[in-house]
Structure 1
Amino acid sequence: MTEALTIRSLTTITELEDVRALESRVWGEEEATPVHQTLTAVKNGGLVLGAFLHEKLIGFQYSFPGFDGTCVYLCSHILAVDPAYRSMGIGAKLKYAQRQESKKKGYSYISWTYDPLESANGYLNIGKLGAVCSTYIENCYGDMNDPLNADLPSDRFVVEWASTEDTKRAQPLHTPDQMMEASLTQWTLTDQGVPSVTGIDERWLNRDVVSVAIPAAFQQMKEVSPSLALDWRMRTRRVFQTCFAKGFQVTGFMKHPEGSTPVHFYILTKKEVQK
């Protein structure tokens, strides 16, 4: 079906109204970005890309210029796909199209935030696209009331993705046993069939490579046990902040090959020291 998919830049008020309508269906009417904001962004170096299937808008990506004190980059703010068309690789196609447009506009890199406990986003952003992360923000957006974020601190990874194409990184941990052994987060299954953190094993912090287990299905966990979801949030917050302070960065994401396994893994490696 995706052979008929087309992606193009959107610049008109009518097109951006369609984007707002799709965003409302995904995130809720109250959270949808006003058209005057997206219109202003695209007129001033920003970008809105739409994914169309037989001329129907089924996904979009919205970004605007940012500045880190040294260079101008593209701040990727929202990516959404119609729920009826998810798990078809449309998000990845939008990101690659974004990278092409970013390069044309002269941006050196693209940056965005996402919830580190959302494994599908981790797999896309880190595992497939090859973005890296060494910044963790506590409660980044404050209290959020949409279905995906309600009742938990809105903690976020800040990732960076070079605008120029790069080669895929070799991952230093290859097997589930290796990832499990090197995991800073230790866990067990509850009677409800969801993973529960049993402890943090910091012995591995003197190594150059570590892994961090996270729930494979965080939203389902929230429905089964909000308290366990909050515990994962607070425990992994500490783990990632500790790792980043010690010079690690997130460079890989690996799904456990056994589909029934309730965790997946981030891979963190020590940054190379510049001489």
Structure 2
Amino acid sequence: MGVEIRVLSTPEELDACVALQKAIWGLDDQGATSPISLKVWTMQDVQTGLVLGAFMENQMVGMIIILATMEPGLAYGHMLGVLDAFRDQRVGDLLHGTAARQLLARGIREMAWTYDPMESRNAYFYLSLQGGRGIRYMEDCFHVSCAMHAGMPMDRLLVRSSIKESLQHKDDITAAEAMIRYPLASPTHMPHADAVLLEIPGDLKTLKIHDMERALRWQQDIRLIFTEYLNRRSYIATSFFSEITGLGRKSYYLLSRSA
């Protein structure tokens, strides 16, 4: 089944984009982008953004919204989402790749994103596949009603990446090799090493369903470590490792001293 990526422009497409946001993230009317904002971002005469949809048999299954910024050569990735039933089919890759090529054609060379740093799937996408670098931890970044977060604070990791590098996937060492090579940071042990590992849940969605209290404890620990290393010590999240072990999926960020 082929995937068609196209620029959204009609009222029907923009309404479908709003509906998709609600389906993917459980956003209410306040949290989803308004049709007026989407219209502004898709105007042809004044280019303030880029809104693309991914279609399979004329059904919109994914979308990406990218906004202009006041920093020359930088665009901000506002939203990138795919319906659960169509994940792991490279839909997100196709959306991001198409957007990246259009941005390069307009002279944009760098992108910034924010995402939930506890989501292994997103960390892998933005750091491992797109070559991003996490530069700032943003505590309680958004204040909207969202079923996906189920009452958890909406902390975010700010990532920047070169668009040219994001089009070239890179290989990393395995999580097991990383565990041997780098010390593991914790709220009570934050070594001043050149690089440290920070563990996150391997499957956040399942954890929240079965043990929300434990998920909140994970978030508090992760918040402390990220804030100390990125915001205070100026480290950068440079890589992400995730693999299946006998104890389930294990996932780690690599936090490195900035050059």
Per-residue deviation, 1:29:
4.0
Seq. identity, %: 25
Alignment partner, residue 210 of structure 2: 224
Which stretch shows the higher mean deviation, 79-88 or 162-171?
162-171
Per-residue deviation, 1:170:
6.3
Aligned AA (2:252): F
Q: Looking at both structures, which has the greater relative contact order when contacts are Cα pairs under 8 Å and sequence separation is at least 6? A: 2
Per-residue deviation, 1:45:
2.9
Q: Deviations for 1:40-61, whole angstroms, at most 9, x for unmatched residues?
A: 0122330001111122211110
Aligned AA (2:217): D
- Aligned residues of 2:63 and 2:82 also touching (Cα < 8 A): yes
Alignment partner, residue 270 of structure 1: 257
Per-residue deviation, 1:169:
5.5
- Aligned residues of 1:249 and 1:268 also touching (Cα < 8 A): yes
Alignment partner, residue 212 of structure 1: 198
Correspondence 1:61 to 2:64: yes
Per-residue deviation, 1:174:
4.0
Per-residue deviation, 1:177:
5.2
Which stretch shows the higher mean deviation, 259-268 or 47-56?
259-268
- Aligned residues of 2:112 and 2:161 also touching (Cα < 8 A): yes
Aligned AA (1:51): A
- Aligned residues of 1:92 and 1:129 also touching (Cα < 8 A): no
Alpha-carbon distance in 2 for matches of 1:137, 1:201:
22
TM-score by length of 1: 0.83
List alignment gaps of at least 5 residues for structure 1.
Answer: 186-198
Aligned AA (2:97): Y
- Aligned residues of 2:132 and 2:160 also touching (Cα < 8 A): yes
List alignment gaps of at least 5 residues for structure 2.
Answer: none
Q: List structure 1 runs of 4+ shifted beyond 6 angstroms.
A: none
Correspondence 1:261 to 2:248: yes
SS at match of 1:155: strand
SS at match of 2:164: coil
Per-residue deviation, 1:135:
0.6
- Aligned residues of 1:42 and 1:64 also touching (Cα < 8 A): no
TM-score by length of 2: 0.88
Per-residue deviation, 1:221:
1.3
Correspondence 1:77 to 2:73: no
Aligned AA (2:222): T
Q: Deviations for 1:58-94, whole angstroms, at most 9, x for unmatched residues?
A: 11101111124xx252111111212221122211221
Alpha-carbon distance in 2 for matches of 1:78, 1:66:
15
Alignment partner, residue 152 of structure 1: 152
How many residue pairs match? The answer is 251
Alignment partner, residue 161 of structure 2: 161
SS at match of 2:160: strand
Q: Output aligned runs, 1:113-128, within 5 Å.
A: 113-128=114-129
CA RMSD of aligned residues (A): 2.1
Aligned AA (1:268): L
- Aligned residues of 1:63 and 1:75 also touching (Cα < 8 A): yes
